[in-house]
Amino acid sequence: MATKTWIATTASTWATAASWSPPGIPAAGDDVIFNAASAACTVGANTNALLSLTCTGYTNTLTINANLIVAGNVTLSSGMTTTGTGNLDISANALLTAAGHTLGVNLRFTTINTTIQIADTWILSKGLTSQGTPLGSIIMRSSVPGTQRTFTLLNNGVTTQDIDYLNVTDIDGSAGLTAWTYKGTAPSNSPNWYLMTTQPPTVSQISFS
């Protein structure tokens, strides 16, 4: 495992070895950092499963046209832009921090029977997909007990949002979550979809059936 920092000073592709310090494309288990000095980056092919992705201070564009795979924590930046036709894949237990960023690519949970901690409010302008063998579940939990976190699937009137294999239930009986079973595509003229409400509790569960 290593820490790889994106050091390109002009727009480049993820697969450009010289754009990383130390040189070389990030391998499985690496920590990847984008910072204020990092230029735009395009992910054109599926990445290895990173240990973490940290974009603190990043103000350029991360274009994801394949699967950017993270098997751990993700920290984004309010000043960055995410766009593209691919997915931000969360493949294992993780702490997700949006830091004020609206995610411009599909967010996909690819590992069942795992726990995702949410550190703040998330707004998704594309879709949220849970992928994997049915008959498992993903627990979504606030990183601070007693503090509510919200996922909003933002309807911009243009983009259709894929929402697959979702069954959100109130698992602790406190009636604080929106009961939601939906599989399919939310059309562009539908209202925003909220995965969690602004009321307690701070835990939700996505189940596969």
pLDDT in tens, the chain (209 residues): 899 999 999 999 999 999 999 999 999 999 999 999 999 999 999 999 999 999 999 999 999 999 999 999 999 999 999 999 999 999 888 999 999 999 999 888 887 677 788 888 888 887 777 665 445 566 777 787 777 777 776 655 555 454 443 444 433 443 333 333 333 444 444 444 444 433 333 344 443 33
The dihedral through the CA atoms of 154, 88, 184, 135 has a sign that is: negative
Determine the Cα–Cα distance for residues 185 and 182; give it in Å rounded to an integer: 9
Report the 10 Å Cβ neighbour count for 140.
22
Determine the Cα–Cα distance for residues 11 and 41; give it in Å rounded to an integer: 6
For the chain, the maximum distance between any two Cα atoms, rounded to a whole number of angstroms, is 53
The dihedral through the CA atoms of 131, 134, 136, 142 has a sign that is: positive
Peptide bond into 187 cis (omega under 30): no
In angstroms, the Cα distances linking 196 to 67, 71, 137, 179 are: 25, 23, 16, 9
For residues 15, 1, 93 and 8, what is the CA-based torsion angle, rounded to 10 degrees?
-30
Determine the Cα–Cα distance for residues 26 and 35; give it in Å rounded to an integer: 16
Place of tokens 């832009």: 81
Determine the Cα–Cα distance for residues 198 and 93; give it in Å rounded to an integer: 24
